């Protein structure tokens, strides 16, 4: 399968992820939010944040950290993932992850939320799905 044929699968995967995913350009423009991110950030505008600058949503210390991480991503192809914070109330970790092209150049980054809560559904239970 050619790389360009994989893109619809990656899009579908991101759309169905229950964790928020926000993708930005190196200039910090929000270019994609999955539905979970739209819900998670609804009180700040939700999906209307697409096209906005991510830095406008953060405090000055956070803006500097984001810029520092992006600079670090650009220093090495091995610099790709940074743990940014833990939200105790929601029991989740948040990461900033580099996105690279085929040559290894940074083309953007994304924010990935990973929840630590154990799944409460029954394994392989398809009876409740519509």
pLDDT of residue 64: 96
Strand partners, 110: 23, 97
Contact in structure between 79 and 95 (CB atoms under 8 Å): no
pLDDT of residue 125: 81
Closest CA to 14 of 38, 41, 43: 38
- Among all chains, which residue has been given the structure tokens 């992820």? 17
One pLDDT digit (tens) per residue for the chain, 130 residues: 888 898 999 999 999 999 999 999 999 999 999 999 999 999 999 999 999 999 998 999 999 999 999 999 999 999 999 999 999 999 999 999 999 999 999 999 999 889 888 888 888 888 765 5
pLDDT of residue 80: 97
pTM above 0.85, yes or no: yes
Query: What domains can be seen in the chain, in order of their start residue?
Result: 3-115 (3.30.450.20)
């Amino acid at each position: 399968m050619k790389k360009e044929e994989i893109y619809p699968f990656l899009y579908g995967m991101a759309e169905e992820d229950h964790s928020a995913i926000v993708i930005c350009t190196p200039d910090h423009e929000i270019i994609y939010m999955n539905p979970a991110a739209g819900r998670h950030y609804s009180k700040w505008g939700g999906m209307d944040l697409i096209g906005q600058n991510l830095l406008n949503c953060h405090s000055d210390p956070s803006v500097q950290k984001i810029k520092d991480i992006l600079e670090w991503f650009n220093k090495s192809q091995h610099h790709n993932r940074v743990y940014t914070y833990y939200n105790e109330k929601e029991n989740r970790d948040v990461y900033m992850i580099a996105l690279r092209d085929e040559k290894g150049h940074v083309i953007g980054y994304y924010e990935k939320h990973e929840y630590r809560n154990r799944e409460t559904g029954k394994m392989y239970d398809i009876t409740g799905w519509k």
